[in-house]
Amino acid sequence: MNSEMPSETHPLEPFFPPHAKLLMCGTFPPKQNRWSMPFYYPNFINDMWRIFGLIYFGSRDALVDASEKTFKLDLIKSLLTEKGIALSDTGKEVVRIKDNASDKWLQIDRPIDLVSSLAELPECRALATTGEKAAGVIAMLTGSEVPKVGEYCDCTVRMGDGVERKFRHWRMPSSSRAYPMKLESKAEFYRRMLVDTGLV
């Protein structure tokens, strides 16, 4: 642990709807002064919910509340519940080495308890990570390769009861505006993953 910087515990509870088929994980939320809502991907300039708007509603602004500079949280939660998409992050306790939200400067001191999380998601068959660091954490926890962007690797998780569950681990492009890819191109990668998982 970096003793000169304070550690932060994840401020959000996992979003685990019943019958979830997919667990989607980022790394860690930005600092709360960058939030537009108390939920995952809360920064108004993050494109995750615009990606979902394009895929499920045909409009990048379908889940955006432009007048309030936030997102339509009730609609997002309803959509995720209907489709069976769970959300968590791969970092449960982190140190912000540069005091910002960049994955490059996040030190993960305690990763997600993947076995416990998946025990709450008995129908889950796919994992999607939304960035390089998150993909690396899941690969480490499952003892598998890190997929290339837009692709998947098969992996196995041994549960607490000894039963092995098999998953596809998809690595998605980051939804951060800092990631050098057009929104529409990111949405096509996510669409492909969601189609493969049976959620589109």
Q: What pLDDT digit, counting tens, does each position of 50-67 carry?
A: 999 999 999 999 999 999
Question: Is 156 part of any domain?
Answer: yes
Q: Which domain holds residue 179?
A: 7-196
Does residue 2 belong to any structural domain of this protein?
no
* Domains contained in the chain, number: 1
Q: What is the mean pLDDT of the chain?
A: 94
Q: Judge whether 36 lies within some domain.
A: yes
**Predicted pLDDT of residue 97:** 86
**Which distant-in-sequence residues (6+ apart) come within 8 Å of 78 by Cβ?**
none
Separation CA 19–CA 197 (nearest Å): 13
Q: What is the CATH number of the domain that holds 21?
A: 3.40.470.10
* pLDDT of amino acid 101: 66
Whether 105 maps to a domain, the answer reads yes
Q: Does residue 182 lie within any of the structural domains?
A: yes
Q: What is the pLDDT of residues 76-122, one digit of tens each?
A: 999 999 999 999 999 999 998 877 667 778 899 999 999 999 999 99
103 assigned to some structural domain: yes
Tell me the C-alpha distance between 85 and 187, whole Å. 16
Is the pLDDT assigned to residue 179 strictly greater than 60?
A: yes
Contact indicator for 27, 102 with CB cutoff of 8 Å = no
Whether 1 is covered by a domain: the verdict is: no
153 beta partners: 169
Q: Is residue 11 part of a domain?
A: yes
